[in-house]
Structure formats: C-alpha cells, structure tokens
C-alpha cells in the first residue's frame, strides 16, 4: 500500500477524492487511478441546516486531511452538468446551485458531480444487461444502467408507491424509525416486487446506510452492496 501511495503522490497517476454527500453524513475517501482505496473512509455529520455553504465547509475540512488531484462527488438529488436541481433531504438553497464549480473553487481541483445513487451504482454494477440500484438512507435513491451505461436523472423517490405515499415516504429513514424494522422490511419486499415488474431488471442492488437493516430472504437477482460503493464509484466519473 505504501508503495502505491508514494507512486500516486509523485504524480504518475491521479488520485481521486471521492465525496458522498448524505442527509445524515458526509463521507470521503481517496482512490488510486484504478479505483482502489488509498485511505480509510472519513466521515463527519451533515450540518443542520444543510445549506450549500455549510456542506462545503464540511467537505473542505475533510479534504484538508487528504492528498488528491481531482474530485468526484455524489449528491442526493438530480444533478445536471454539476448543477443540483433537487435536494429533498438537504436545503432549498441547493436548487439551481452549481456544486461542481463551487467545489472546484474551494479545493482548486477539477471536479465532477453526479447523483449519489448513480455514483454508488458505478461502484457496484457488473455492466451486463439491465441493472437497477436503490439506495436506502435518509431518502430513497435510484439509478438505472443498461450494459454499464447510466440512464441519467432517474428519480423514483417521489413517485407514488402505495397507500397514497411515495417510495421515500414509505421507505426513508423517517419511516423506518416510525414503524420499525419488521414493517419496514415488509414494505421493502413489496417495493422489490413492484420495481421488478416496472423495470424487468436483470439485477437489483440495494445499498445505502439502511441496507444493513434488511432482514428477509431476497430474490436471486437482488443483492445488497456495501455502503462504501458510494465512494468507490467515484473513479468511474473520470473514465472516458
């Protein structure tokens, strides 16, 4: 590992700071040019209120401990060309905010920004057929891939699911806390059945911080992925 770190820091290959912005925590990790971790995951609580300035301060604090050449960011909302268009679990000030440019200015490094479920998917998928990624955290994230290619801006969280409520209302962190793990797992099973009919996917990946609460036998084409995939996918943002 030390040899790899020395090689990277000497500039032979770029080091990527992967940033995962969540509703409850902000995580970072440095990756080598192949996407392997060079550091342990570091984390700080998401500030409340989670305004752009407050979140950028946390990212700058975490980044100050690391050596890197470029930045990949996963954001919990729709992102278009580095601009955040939705932010249901953060603050209204994020709508229309140019996050990519703001981080480039703060950290003085080239930056690419995508939806957080998109970035987690890039770190988890096999790249074969129709693959759906769902992140279970403060909210409900989603990403769809066809033969390894991202279908951009899929946002299932606020679509109707059951009993007049959305996927996020039924399966987000507030719902888990309110109804408990048993009922939450029952709802998740119904969501899996619903999503399979909707997308006819070859594989469904379940990630996010609350995936650790899954307590049921999953179908053969459904599996959980470690939360760190949300950071490991950061290297894919720089592959042409």
pLDDT of residue 22: 93
One fold for 2-116+232-238 and 125-224: yes
Measured CA to CA, the distance from residue 106 to residue 33 in angstroms comes to: 23
The CATH code of domain 125-224 reads: 3.30.420.40
Query: Residue 166 forms beta bridges with which residues?
Result: 160
Domain spans, the chain: 2-116+232-238, 125-224
Q: Strand, helix or coil at 72?
A: strand
Measured CA to CA, the distance from residue 130 to residue 132 in angstroms comes to: 7
Q: Strand, helix or coil at 110?
A: coil
CA 14 to chain centre: 22
pLDDT in tens, 85-114: 999 999 999 999 999 999 999 999 999 999
pTM attached to this predicted model? 0.89
What topology is assigned to 2-116+232-238 in CATH?
Nucleotidyltransferase; domain 5 (3.30.420)
pLDDT in tens, 3-60: 334 344 445 699 999 999 999 999 999 999 999 999 999 999 999 999 999 999 999 9
pLDDT in tens, 162-198: 999 999 999 999 999 999 999 999 999 999 999 999 9
């Amino acid at each position: 590992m030390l040899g790899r770190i020395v090689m990277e820091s000497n500039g032979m290959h770029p080091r990527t700071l992967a940033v995962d912005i969540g509703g409850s925590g902000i995580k970072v990790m440095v990756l080598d040019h192949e996407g392997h971790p060079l550091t342990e995951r570091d984390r700080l609580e998401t500030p409340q209120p989670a305004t752009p300035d407050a979140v950028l301060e946390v990212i700058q604090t975490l980044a100050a401990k690391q050596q890197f050449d470029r930045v990949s960011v996963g954001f919990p909302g729709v992102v278009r060309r580095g601009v955040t268009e939705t932010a249901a679990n953060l603050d209204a000030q994020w709508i229309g905010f140019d996050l990519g440019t703001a981080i480039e200015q703060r950290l003085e490094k080239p930056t690419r920004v995508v939806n957080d479920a998109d970035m987690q998917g890039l770190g988890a998928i096999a790249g074969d057929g129709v693959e759906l990624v769902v992140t279970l955290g403060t909210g409900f994230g989603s990403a769809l891939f066809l033969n390894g290619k991202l279908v951009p801006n899929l946002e299932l969280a606020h679509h109707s699911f059951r009993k007049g409520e959305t996927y996020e209302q039924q399966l987000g962190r507030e719902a888990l806390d309110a109804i408990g793990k048993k009922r939450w797992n029952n709802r998740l099973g119904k969501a899996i059945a619903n999503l399979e009919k909707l997308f006819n996917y070859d594989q469904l990946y379940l990630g996010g911080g609350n995936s650790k609460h899954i307590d049921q036998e999953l179908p053969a084409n459904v599996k959980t992925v470690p939360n760190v995939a949300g950071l490991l996918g950061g290297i894919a943002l720089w592959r042409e």
